[in-house]
Amino acid sequence: MEKHGRTRALRMSLMELSIMISIFAVVSVLLTRMYVEADRLQGNATQISKSIVLCETVAEAIKGSEALEPTMSNLGFQMTEDKAAYQIQYDKEWNVSLESNAFQLRVNPVLEERGSGKMLTAVISATTKAGEELCTLTVKRFYPETGKE
């Protein structure tokens, strides 16, 4: 009789444990998703940080340039097929690469006549392979007609 009671008690605790583990399983799935998302966001933050430094470098180079084209080619940029922009591709480790285009830096220049010279407005943008934008920077540079600025 006593043994029968003990078995019933054990079965009850087995059921309680099963319910508890089911709840735990649901919670752990949610937590795991959260961890994965946090990890992905951290990865994004690193890429954004890297892309900002690269965009800043390009912006500085444009600001210090006397002409856009040689500066872009010095930085390793190539003109796009439609000749409307300059671009450079990077692999996953942000090394310049012709094959891989895990990341891409693009410079869209617009030149406007302004009185005694030309005003260059360049939009520098960094994107992922999937087209997700990491950062965008706009830089302006005035090129006077004669002599230096």
Binding residue (CB under 8 A) for another protein from 56, 91, 101, 117: 56
CA dihedral 20, 24, 25, 30 (to 10 degrees): 150
Please tell me whether residue 19 binds another protein under the rule CB under 8 A.
Answer: no
Binders in 70-99 for another protein, by CB under 8 A: 74
Q: Does 52 bind another protein (CB under 8 A)?
A: yes
Given the complex with another protein, which of 99 and 149 has the nearer CB atom? Answer: 149
Q: Should residue 44 be labelled a site residue for another protein when binding is judged by CB under 8 A?
A: no
Instruction: Name the minimum Å distance from CB 10 to another protein.
Output: 5
Burial 33-61 (b: 16+ CB within 10 A, else e): eeeeeeeeeeeeeebeebbeebbeebbeb
What does the H/E/C string look like for 22-75? HHHHHHHHHHHHHHHHHHHHHHHHHHHHHHHHHHHHHHHHHHCCCCHHHHHHHC
Q: 90-94: long-range contacts (C-beta < 8 A, 24 or more apart)?
A: 94/50, 94/54
Supply the minimum distance, in Å, between the C-beta of residue 81 and another protein.
Answer: 27
Residue nearer to another protein on the CB measure, 4 or 83: 4
Q: Residue 65's closest CA among 117, 141, 145?
A: 141
From candidates 26, 45, 96, 111, binder to another protein by CB under 8 A:
45
Report the residue number, 82 or 149, with the smaller CB distance to another protein. Answer: 149
Name the residues that contact another protein, by CB under 8 A: 3-4, 6-7, 10-11, 13-14, 17-18, 20-21, 24-25, 28, 31-32, 35, 38-39, 42, 45-46, 49-50, 52-53, 56-57, 60-61, 63-65, 74, 148-149
